[in-house]
Structure 1
């Protein structure tokens, strides 16, 4: 039955309204929750996305990793059901729930059939409001988290990310892994987990999107049933991060035949008037969706890596422009120099009209493909809400891309790409690479 449902669910996810048919309704529930809804009644299936702002950045001092551990336990039993009973009940309904935590949000994704909607919602409510946090489940999930932390300690990519974050954010929550440390996770108690549940999953920080076979009135009743018994208010949000990053190279010695590099500096705020110009500029320079300038210079022309890219990292309390690649130890020094040269070139010269025209065609053509089912639509709507966008953004986004001019890109490239501030963190044993402060 489970395999049959997975096949059915895949078909449902891949079907759904096309971009032209995405009409967002703004719904206010009887108890005052705000949600966005796209009705699609052709298939008896509903996707709901719930996101609690704050996420792992709300970990109390000395309790790093508690939100991550709590999130991993939500589905490990609820109400009068232990973990096995809860999973059996979920599978009997052919429902799907997933819970994940990131630096800025805890996300709940629910997928269920219309015929089982009431039972699936009731079961999800138990997980959200009455998680058991049984001792046996705590120790089992704790062991999984600790195993992941130990694995990360020997993974070059994880080491690079951890080093870069610590250098950039210092004591801010972004400066350490949301998984916690071996010591912090081992010391967490059930009371710590209960406190994290109250602090993170609260009514005053929730964003909701839904798509599928459901009306506004039905969604309002479901949301009230799911969330009305949660904490009224959660923990205070963190302060804006003060970035301590400076230009240079940081080498972390690690025995491996291939080194990895993470690089970047301060980025641009999502609300900045030049954000779309910056987005377009970065897609030309190092975007992953097409052949970028950086990929052409580092990979295609010189064969220094299998892949290289850059991206705008939009945290709630910080903004970065980041990139990464891996290469053989004897090629890392050359690859770094090529990246630095290209960073300077785009800052000084901008891009060409052909590059701009090509990326506009790509970005506007690819955008509708994101809306390939109820689940992705619900997820996109929640992301839009958290970024402070309005429902008409879906219909105006491509216009914003198309209005970016060559002068806009040149102006923002000079401002955004700062060669003198570019910091590389390299993990490995690269030839000719030394610490540069």
Structure 2
């Protein structure tokens, strides 16, 4: 159950924690009291060389010549030739996430985790040694919308061919050995016991239940103790035959390969998969009922989660919402939430907001933790900040700073082959146009304050939030008054 490290799912969503996904870099506004002043001063005095060269223009980035086709079995392929390094990255993206679990939560995750545990004649150790001996790296992971399987290998034919042969066998014909299933089940069951001591995790599970009701997104991707214990090898095989089919796969390839070599790789991998069509897309959820739920938990701090349904990945307002969220709370210091809740009052170490667009409408979420005796006042403060932001929108300076941050961080989305292959996988999975990265950047830079305000109000409402808190019930104290000087020590430290 491995997953390659690094930011690989920049197109999957804006999130305060890494989930899979989405122009997923955080737009961190400069600290208004320090960084913005320094930047303004630099503009009028001796410019830093990098800023002078920018002069309001977006930095250069890699131009991507994205080529696409379909295999004979129906897999969608996206390919970018990149000759800089003698290696290539391959990623398969399947609509095989937990939204396909049906009545068995955790089935998708367990199937994905078992892929590299054994094939005919090779156990998990032999598979690992096989990839390692070729200088290749295997990765996998499962989320709500999707499951991914990836390979990084040298592009020389003497290394590439055996690595691909092993990869195709692992993905296409896993053996699902019983001893590995028992081991991974025990690991998951142990993690469920640990979750009972984690108020943040408990709050998150409860939040998704209230947010999604009977929708497939409602349950956690890792399932629960009851469902995981009951999963059989036959169920894993059936799920693999349904969801890991060629017709349900997006194949992304980036690296030191010709078009003909990329076509051969895609054809080999596609042919190795079970034959079958794409699975049915996840339906849109119904609107949740606003309200507040509290989980009693013995701790010094209270976790606060505020959420409502956001957008799906195809929504045309995505660029405006991404930029608007970066000003509200999508980055670090300098956002509205961080400035008012941490810097002026010292109520938390961090407060973040995020949109996580998925195949169906994903959540908009604000999350933080604060001292239990200040939790009610802090919750009211956060709700007031959101309401004010929706009413008045961003200032021109906030928008300009956010655009500058986006322009500066945008080249990272194509800075490595691993980053590009993740972008291609998401573009293929969500049926985005091949010029998506370029158009997203241009749309973001052209936005006005009114357009951002209108988009935020179109999709969010301050009085429709689903709120879940986890912590002790204690007498409440008034919040400390705001100050223009940041607190030296925020009250409380993060728990769990």
| Pair in the same fold by TM > 0.5 | yes
Two-structure CA RMSD over aligned residues (Å): 1.9
Compared with structure 1, are the counterparts of its residues 413 and 238 closer, same or farther at alpha carbon in structure 2 (3 Å cutoff)? closer
Distance 1:191 1:126 in 2: 19
Question: What's the secondary structure of 1:291's corresponding residue?
Answer: coil
Give 2:97's match in structure 1, choosing from 28, 52, 55.
55
Question: What's the secondary structure of 2:240's corresponding residue?
Answer: helix
Count of residue pairs the alignment pairs up: 416
Give 1:307's match in structure 2, choosing from 346, 350, 374.
350
Where in structure 2 are the equivalents of 1:236-251 lying within 5 Å? 236-237=279-280, 239-251=282-294
Deviation at 1:51, TM superposition (A): 0.2
Where in structure 2 are the equivalents of 1:9-48 lying within 5 Å? 19-29=61-71, 32-48=74-90
Match in the other structure for 1:120? 163
Where in structure 2 are the equivalents of 1:138-153 lying within 5 Å? 138-153=181-196
Alpha-carbon contact 1:29-1:221 (below 8 Å) kept: no
Match in the other structure for 2:321? 278
Distance 2:348 2:154 in 1: 45
Q: 1:370-404 deviations in whole A, cap 9, x for unaligned?
A: 22211111001111222222121222222110111
* TM-score normalised according to structure 2 size: 0.80
Distance 2:218 2:212 in 1: 5
Deviation at 1:30, TM superposition (A): 5.4
Alpha-carbon contact 2:89-2:254 (below 8 Å) kept: yes
Deviation at 1:136, TM superposition (A): 1.0
Where in structure 2 are the equivalents of 1:94-113 lying within 5 Å? 94-113=135-154
Compared with structure 1, are the counterparts of its residues 323 and 80 closer, same or farther at alpha carbon in structure 2 (3 Å cutoff)? same
Distance 1:306 1:140 in 2: 37
Instruction: Identify which range, 28-37 or 157-166, moves more after superposition.
Output: 28-37
Match in the other structure for 2:404? 361
Alpha-carbon contact 1:30-1:220 (below 8 Å) kept: no
Deviation at 1:285, TM superposition (A): 0.6
Deviation at 1:121, TM superposition (A): 0.3
Where in structure 2 are the equivalents of 1:108-257 lying within 5 Å? 108-115=149-156, 116-233=159-276, 236-237=279-280, 239-257=282-300
Deviation at 1:101, TM superposition (A): 0.5
Do structure 1's residue 421 and structure 2's residue 464 form an aligned pair? yes
Q: 1:212-256 deviations in whole A, cap 9, x for unaligned?
A: 111111111112211213222268436524335233321100111
Higher helix share: 1
Distance 1:197 1:32 in 2: 17
Match in the other structure for 1:394? 437
Distance 2:250 2:427 in 1: 10
Give 2:107's match in structure 1, choosing from 58, 63, 66.
66
Question: What's the secondary structure of 1:183's corresponding residue?
Answer: helix
Q: 1:91-145 deviations in whole A, cap 9, x for unaligned?
A: 1111111111011101012111123111100000110111111111111111111
Match in the other structure for 2:133? 92
* TM-score normalised according to structure 1 size: 0.90
Give 1:298's match in structure 2, choosing from 317, 324, 341.
341
Compared with structure 1, are the counterparts of its residues 144 and 234 closer, same or farther at alpha carbon in structure 2 (3 Å cutoff)? farther
Alpha-carbon contact 1:30-1:221 (below 8 Å) kept: no
Distance 2:64 2:473 in 1: 50
Give 1:316's match in structure 2, choosing from 352, 359, 369.
359
Alpha-carbon contact 1:346-1:414 (below 8 Å) kept: no
Deviation at 1:296, TM superposition (A): 0.6
Q: 1:259-296 deviations in whole A, cap 9, x for unaligned?
A: 11111112134433333222211111111255211111
Compared with structure 1, are the counterparts of its residues 307 and 430 closer, same or farther at alpha carbon in structure 2 (3 Å cutoff)? farther
Structure 1 residue runs of 5 or longer lacking an equivalent are 1-5, 7-17
Give 1:412's match in structure 2, choosing from 447, 451, 455.
455
